[in-house]
Amino acid sequence: MKHHVLRLTRGTDLRKGIEDYYSNNNIKAGGIVTCVGSLYHASIRLADGETVNQYDARYEIVSLTGTLSSNGSHFHISIASEDGSVIGGHVSYGCLVNTTAEIILVSLDDEYELTREFDETTGYNELVIRQKV
């Protein structure tokens, strides 16, 4: 297991920035350990699997978690508004960093092969985990 630390700056798409980092560093299996930062625009898909809400205001990132495989990522976020209320869900493209996003990632390439394959029971491409020997 190897740790990576990165910082995304204002205007960067949070999801794309993380995926680009994984791609540029040839990481095929990994996850998000922690993230602190802020957004000025959030694009979050809700639990119904279809509705994507857009939020335009200043938000603190209070939680970001997720996995990344060789053929896709899956991230969830919780963000707090200026009055402290929290919203969250699936990170869609379009979550734009306000001041910073300080992120610690882990790569698991030495131990696991992670892929996403269609699962008939859910209707989504779901994580498939294969431990390397």
pTM, two decimal places: 0.94
Q: Provide the residue range defining the domain that includes 110.
A: 2-131
We report the CATH number of the domain holding residue 107 as 3.30.1330.80
DSSP string of the chain?
Answer: -EEEEEEEETT-BHHHHHHHHHHHTT--SEEEEEEEEEEEEEEEE-TTSS-EEEEEEEEEEEEEEEEEETTEEEEEEEEE-TTS-EEEEEEPTT-EEEEEEEEEEEE-TTTEEEEEEEETTTTEEEEEEEE--
Q: For residue range 21-53, list pLDDT tens digits in order.
A: 999 999 999 999 999 999 999 999 999 989 999
- Domain tally for the chain? 1
Residue-wise pLDDT for 67-125, tens only, equals 999 899 999 999 999 999 999 999 999 999 999 999 999 999 999 999 999 999 999 99
